[in-house]
Amino acid sequence: MPSKLKLSPSQLTRAFARGLSADVGQYIQRSQSAAAVDRSLDHLSWSRRYLPNYFRAAPSAMHVWMADRLHAARKQRGVKLNIVGPRGGAKSTVGNTSYGLRCAVEGTEPYILLLGKTETMAAKQLSHIKRQIEENPLIARDYPEAAGRGSIWSESLIRLRNGVQIQAFGAGQSIRGARNDSERPTLVIGDDIQEDDAITSKLIRDRDWTWLTGAVLKIGTPNHTNFINLCTAIHREAIGSRLETMPGWVSKSFASIIEWPANMGLWERWAEVLRQHDDPNAERNARDFYEANRTAMDEGAVVLWPEWESLYELMLMRETEGRNAFEREKQSRLASVEENEWPDEYFDDHIWFEDWPIGWRIKTLALDPSKGKDAKRGDYSAYVSLMVGTDGTLYVDADLARRPTPQMISDGIAICQDWQPDAFGVEANAWQDLLANDFAEEFVRAGMINAAPYTIDNRIKKPVRIRKLGPYLAQHRLKFKRKSPGARLVVSQLRDFPDPHSHDDGPDALEMALRLAIETLGGEFAAQHPLRIEH
């Protein structure tokens, strides 16, 4: 027979205190198991081991970044992390449920606060942790001193058997004086603590910020309490955005679509198929269009978490749920509807035209190459074709694409041959004047001697120039070709202006095309080229 286990007085005391006197051997076995737990395990590995149902898919780049910093934070004090990520991207799973659970059962954080937009939402986050402490057999096996119901076990407050306390609060609630015995909060996790009303209400945004800075950030111990803020983009004056510029905080934003497809024109054509609301098969037809052009439509795209959301699913969401909402909720663009330059009514159905008018005063073409030193990575080269109608209405088409210089030139030659503009301008800033010379040489080779482009030297800042389009939008004098993917892209960029996260290549080229038309009509050209009627 096996020999009896010999227990020290302290082991006996702890055993009886936990009600394990009927099976002291089992208690000792579990205690030894807990001692053998590898507490240096990286956070994603720990999460996969103890929460396998939550961590089935491969992690995204956001999860890896979060896990690395959360793992380091377990041994650091005064950490402040701000993560802005896509809705539905499982940032709460990694940074709230899993991290809060681990800190609680390992006892590294004696007092944890979970903050939500309401107390009910915060309590829901707490319930996920409570369930694991009560029901997870792996937690029970490896963390016996914490597993099971503790001395306090309510909807918004629990105290584990190891003494760790977790409390849930809603935004705006009074949290002054919150303590676990003598411990002030050592870890505070805010998870989407702002209501969607903060998008349109400055009063709410200011109220939330005052609560955060006046109450939450003062609740812990200076240089000791760790703070984590998890949020979806709401507004440039929302908490997630303000923390990005606040000293002492480490911030990171993540987008569901990291790199957009190279051929957005095909996606605009796909969107046209999807928008056929009178066709009951529109969604199926759109899918068929995608499958037929999948290689070209996927080219260049990089998705944050392809194991969970494919490019097609994201683009479908973008169209069916609204592009503005998609940019906020999936792309982490901290948009401000109040700061858009022009109201939505400027872009009603009146902005579209079907066919070019028969008569016109002048046709121009302008190119923004987006190859200069100030160009953003992934910018488009934008060709904008402009026709000034006999009544002064401006008719616009566009061709926007990411393309190398040789293709940019060859596409320009083709557009000129088809459009036959009266004037063609190329932005000449920085080294781009060399591009105009390349065009001139290609025009000679194509036999288009009189089509050599003008160089346009933009010395006024781009936002100031683009704002000159405002009166034409307000007077409904700007019309865009309805079935043109490029024209639709220009309208989308105009709607977003002056969002610094949005492209503005199309509006920039449009302003140049309009300026070229005004300057040309104002000189000798107007006398030499009277009203034209095409037969």
The more confident residue out of 327 and 15 is 327
- The band of 236, judged by pLDDT with boundaries at 50, 70 and 90, is confident
Do 290 and 224 lie in a common domain?
no
pLDDT recorded at residue 6: 38
pLDDT recorded at residue 334: 57
Assess if residue 32 is contained within a domain.
no
444-496 pLDDT per residue, tens: 888 876 666 788 888 888 888 999 998 899 889 999 999 898 998 899 889 87
- The band of 372, judged by pLDDT with boundaries at 50, 70 and 90, is very low
CA dist 110 and 130 (Å) reads 16
The more confident residue out of 21 and 96 is 96
First-last CA distance in the chain? 111
Assess if residue 372 is contained within a domain.
yes
High-pLDDT (> 70) share of the chain, %: 84
Residue reference for tokens 């009189």: 450
Do 387 and 318 lie in a common domain?
no
pLDDT recorded at residue 26: 42
Do 302 and 442 lie in a common domain?
no
pLDDT recorded at residue 535: 32
Assess if residue 26 is contained within a domain.
no
CA dist 28 and 412 (Å) reads 79
H-type alpha helices, 258-322: 264-274, 282-292, 294-298, 311-320
pLDDT recorded at residue 502: 67
CA dist 151 and 163 (Å) reads 9
Pick from 336, 357, 386: which residue ends a domain?
336
Do 233 and 275 lie in a common domain?
no
Does residue 441 have a pLDDT over 90?
A: no
Do 395 and 318 lie in a common domain?
no
Between 8-12, 162-166, 437-441, 487-491, the lowest mean confidence (pLDDT) is in 8-12
Does residue 270 have a pLDDT over 80?
A: yes
CA dist 60 and 303 (Å) reads 9
222 Cβ contact partners less than 8 Å away, ≥ 6 residues apart: 78
Do 375 and 499 lie in a common domain?
yes
9-53 pLDDT per residue, tens: 334 334 333 333 333 334 334 434 444 577 788 999 999 999 999
The more confident residue out of 443 and 366 is 366
Assess if residue 1 is contained within a domain.
no
Assess if residue 397 is contained within a domain.
yes
Does residue 121 have a pLDDT over 50?
A: yes
HSE toward the beta carbon, residue 485, CA cutoff 13 A: 14
Average pLDDT over the chain reads 84
- The band of 440, judged by pLDDT with boundaries at 50, 70 and 90, is confident
Other Cβ atoms less than 10 A from the Cβ of 256: the count is: 26
Assess if residue 126 is contained within a domain.
yes
Do 129 and 224 lie in a common domain?
yes
Do 246 and 362 lie in a common domain?
no
- The band of 188, judged by pLDDT with boundaries at 50, 70 and 90, is very high
pLDDT recorded at residue 319: 86
Residue 212 maps to which CATH number? 3.40.50.300
Residue 523 maps to which CATH number? 3.30.420.240
The more confident residue out of 308 and 499 is 308
pLDDT recorded at residue 160: 97
The more confident residue out of 8 and 387 is 387
Do 316 and 352 lie in a common domain?
no
- The band of 534, judged by pLDDT with boundaries at 50, 70 and 90, is very low
Do 249 and 275 lie in a common domain?
no
pLDDT recorded at residue 127: 97
For every residue of 419-480, DSSP letters joined together read: H--SEEEEE-TGGGHHHHHHHHHHHHHTT-GGGPPEEE---S-HHHHHGGGHHHHHTT-EEE
Q: Are 261 and 298 in contact (CB under 8 A)?
A: yes
Pick from 306, 336, 366: which residue ends a domain?
336
Domain span at 413? 344-533
Between 45-59, 212-226, 366-380, the lowest mean confidence (pLDDT) is in 366-380
Assess if residue 12 is contained within a domain.
no
Pick from 228, 253, 278: which residue ends a domain?
253
HSE toward the beta carbon, residue 268, CA cutoff 13 A: 20
The more confident residue out of 528 and 17 is 528
- The band of 429, judged by pLDDT with boundaries at 50, 70 and 90, is low
Assess if residue 4 is contained within a domain.
no
**DSSP letter (8 states) at residue 358:** S
Between 114-128, 261-275, 421-435, the lowest mean confidence (pLDDT) is in 421-435
The whole-number average pLDDT for the span 200-223 is 87
Do 141 and 284 lie in a common domain?
no
Do 235 and 282 lie in a common domain?
no
- The closest alpha carbon to 257, from 299, 308, 302, belongs to 302
| Domains held by the chain: number | 3
